């Protein structure tokens, strides 16, 4: 039997205007991505190079893995010399400060044995170099013995031919040096615990255990010897530590 189909008229479709309330919050959308209403995301995701090596992040904390290498201070042995112990303790302290975002720029500290004139060009990057400046043994007024270790925390500044940009760079680096100086002097950071549990005590400019030459040379300093030839300035924070020892 043949079937008959009846056509049915369809009325025109109509849409009501309104505001959707189910959009994902911009704080949960990655910077650079937009949601349906055109608003852009504000969630900043660090690059892989700014996250500590082996640390997961992203979706579920496992989407990406950091590649930033942070030295393991526990690898420094009890038998290492005081200079090495103190320099590496400072590098570890500054690395931890980087992870905690204590400074307005990542400093990427590293330990070297060098002189100011031997430091290579670093362009516009911020590179903080922990370099020993001097060490000597001494005797306290109470008859105990110890060792001074003076360390320079160096920031190399490479200037250009843009006076305005150079001024901004110098201002930023001067502020960074102030931050470093203040950070190392705070109560929670000033003294360093060494691998054999000895304490390297931070020396203030008023500390009578250090001789006058040491006290007068501490603080934020500038070396501009390479300014004309290489257009480089080296800013540094000079700190000193005292470690009790027996001889």
The DSSP annotation for 102-163 comes to -SSS----EE----GGGPPP-TT---EEEEEEEEEEEE-TTS-EEEEEEEEEEEEEE--S-H
pTM (two decimals): 0.65
What is the set of domains in the chain, with CATH numbers? 20-69 (no CATH), 77-245 (3.30.2000.10)
More confident residue, 24 or 9: 24
Instruction: Give percent helix, percent strand, percent coil of the chain, each to the nearest 5.
Output: 25, 25, 45
Would you say 91 and 76 are in contact if contact means Cβ atoms under 8 Å apart? Answer: no
Would you say 209 and 140 are in contact if contact means Cβ atoms under 8 Å apart? Answer: yes
In sequence order, which residues have a C-beta less than 8 Å from that of residue 15 and are 6 or more positions away? none
Asked if pLDDT for residue 211 goes beyond 90, the answer is: no
Percent of the chain's residues with pLDDT above 70: 72
Would you say 137 and 242 are in contact if contact means Cβ atoms under 8 Å apart? Answer: no
Would you say 39 and 45 are in contact if contact means Cβ atoms under 8 Å apart? Answer: no
Asked if pLDDT for residue 6 goes beyond 60, the answer is: no
pLDDT digits (tens, 9 = 90+) for 73-90: 556 777 788 889 999 999
pLDDT digits (tens, 9 = 90+) for 25-69: 776 677 767 776 667 777 766 667 667 677 777 766 777 787 766
Residues in the chain: 247
Question: Which pLDDT does position 223 carry in this prediction?
Answer: 77
For residue 86, give the 3-state DSSP assignment. helix
Q: Residue 70 and residue 52: Cα distance in Å, rounded? A: 7
- Which of 194, 205, 209, 79 lies closest to 136, judged by CA? 209
Question: Which pLDDT does position 237 carry in this prediction?
Answer: 92
Question: Which pLDDT does position 3 carry in this prediction?
Answer: 54
Enter the DSSP assignment of 196.
T
Tokens of 244: 């009790």
pLDDT digits (tens, 9 = 90+) for 117-164: 455 544 445 667 888 888 888 877 677 788 889 998 888 777 788 888
The DSSP annotation for 50-81 comes to GSBTT-EESGGGTSEE--B----GGGS-TTS-
The torsion angles phi and psi of 217, rounded to 5 degrees, stand at: -95, 5
- Strongest mean pLDDT among 53-62, 189-198, 211-220: 189-198
Q: Residue 198 and residue 187: Cα distance in Å, rounded? A: 17
| Distance, first Cα to last Cα, the chain | 117
Q: Residue 80 and residue 85: Cα distance in Å, rounded? A: 6
């Amino acid at each position: 039997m043949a079937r008959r189909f009846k056509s049915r008229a369809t009325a025109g479709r109509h849409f009501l205007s309104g505001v959707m309330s189910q959009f994902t919050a911009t704080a949960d959308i990655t910077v650079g991505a937009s949601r349906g209403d055109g608003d852009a995301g504000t969630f900043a995701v660090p690059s892989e190079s700014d996250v500590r090596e082996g640390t997961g992040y992203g979706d579920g904390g496992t989407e990406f893995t950091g590649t930033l290498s942070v030295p393991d201070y526990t690898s420094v042995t009890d038998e290492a010399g005081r200079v090495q112990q103190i320099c590496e303790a400072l590098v570890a302290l500054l690395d931890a400060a980087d992870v905690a975002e204590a400074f307005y720029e990542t400093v990427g500290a590293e330990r070297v044995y060098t002189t100011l004139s031997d430091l290579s060009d670093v362009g516009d990057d911020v590179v903080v170099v922990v370099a020993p400046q001097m060490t000597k043994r001494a005797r306290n007024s109470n008859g105990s013995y110890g060792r001074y270790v003076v360390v320079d925390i160096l920031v190399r500044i490479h200037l250009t031919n843009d006076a305005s940009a150079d001024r901004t760079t110098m201002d930023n680096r001067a502020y960074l040096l102030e931050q470093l100086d203040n950070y190392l002097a705070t109560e929670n950071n000033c003294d360093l615990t060494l691998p054999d549990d000895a304490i390297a005590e931070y020396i203030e400019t008023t500390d009578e255990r250090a001789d006058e030459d040491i006290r007068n040379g501490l603080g934020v300093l500038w070396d501009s010897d390479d300014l004309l030839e290489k257009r480089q300035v080296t800013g540094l924070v000079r700190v000193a530590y005292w470690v009790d020892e027996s001889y």
